[in-house]
Amino acid sequence: GENVGLHLPTLSVQEGDNSIINCAYSNSASDYFIWYKQESGKGPQFIIDIRSNMDKRQGQRVTVLLNKTVKHLSLQIAATQPGDSAVYFCAEIKGNTPLVFGKGTRLSVIA
Amino acid sequence: DAMVIQNPRYQVTQFGKPVTLSCSQTLNHNVMYWYQQKSSQAPKLLFHYYDKDFNNEADTPDNFQSRRPNTSFCFLDIRSPGLGDAAMYLCATSREHGETQYFGPGTRLLVL
């Protein structure tokens, strides 16, 4: 079946550098995408979202890019901080169906 | 100003002893979801309610049941917990289908 997946299961970044977390999706009918951050022992926390009619959306220190041609989603974190260390999940939604999570990427920030 | 609340945060039960996990929300959202999450895995949807309409995922074991007595509360009942049911259980809500889901802090279940 169609699914959402991630290229990199772990990512280590130096504090202050920019982080890029990638996600590939295969369901071309998905129209809404969300990035969640999950810290150890906590529930997923909404970071940023993007609809399929957009290709870029910016938040505070975070940017989500959507490339529908290659079915690719990325999360960019500027000036990565130790508090950004967590597992990041992309998720996709098609219409009114429940969201589908990707596998997750663990981001480790090296001080 | 917690929006999705789960109690307890940690639950220990014995093999085969029924256990209930609870979730409440202050968002007045129509949809409530229960997920199971095991270590280093993505959350797996068990079922969800749209108002009082229950929707079970095809691969959710019969051992898992849910109740939603009103808009604010939703319960997860595990009738006979097995060792494989030890996991983090996450509750989430969304205003409508197809909209952003907001998650609670989770309840970590340990089965002895």
**pLDDT tens digits, residue range B84-95?**
999 999 999 999
Residue A2, phi then psi, degrees to nearest 5:
-75, 150
Which CATH entry fits the domain spanning A4-110: 3.20.20.60, 1.10.3720.10, 3.90.226.10, 2.60.40.10? 2.60.40.10
Contact in structure between A32 and A53 (CB atoms under 8 Å): no
Alpha-carbon distance of A102 to B34, in angstroms, equals 17
Interchain contact, B103 vs A44, CB within 8 Å? yes
Q: What is the pLDDT of residue B46?
A: 96
pLDDT value of residue B1: 62
**What residues of chain A lie within 8 A of the CB of B105, using their CB?**
42-43
Percent residues over pLDDT 70 in chain A: 93
Please confirm whether the linkage preceding B8 is cis (ω < 30° from 0): yes
Q: Which of B96, B97, B100 is opposite residue A46, by nearest beta carbon?
A: B100
Residues of A in contact with B96 (CB under 8 A): 96
Count A/B contacts: CB-CB distance under 8 Å: 47
pLDDT of A26 higher than 90:
no
Tens digit of pLDDT for each residue in B41-93? 999 999 999 999 999 998 999 999 999 999 999 999 999 999 999 999 999 99
Q: Chain B partners of A97 at a C-beta cutoff of 8 Å?
A: 97-98
**d(C-alpha B85, C-alpha B65), whole Å:** 13
Q: Is B84 helix (H, G, I), strand (E, B) or coil?
A: helix
pLDDT in tens, B27-42: 999 999 999 999 889 9
Question: Contact A25/A50 with Cβ under 8 angstroms?
Answer: no
User: Which pLDDT score is estimated for B20?
Assistant: 97
Q: How far is B95 from chain A (nearest CA, A)?
A: 12
Are A98 and B48 inside 8 Å of each other by CB? yes
A25 touches chain B (CB under 8 A): no
Q: How far apart, in whole angstroms, are the C-alpha atoms of residue B44 and residue B35?
A: 5
Bridge partner list, A37: A45, A88
Q: Give dist(CA A18, CA A79) in Å, integer.
A: 5
CA separation for the pair B99, A46 (Å, rounded): 12
What topology does CATH give the domain B4-111?
Immunoglobulin-like (2.60.40)
Q: Which of 31-50 (B) contact A at CB < 8 A?
A: 33, 40-43, 45, 48
Domain ranges of chain B: 4-111
Please, what sign has the CA dihedral across residues B84, B51, A43, A57?
A: positive
With 0-12 / 13-18 / 19 or more C-beta atoms within 10 angstroms meaning exposed / middle / buried, residue B65 is middle
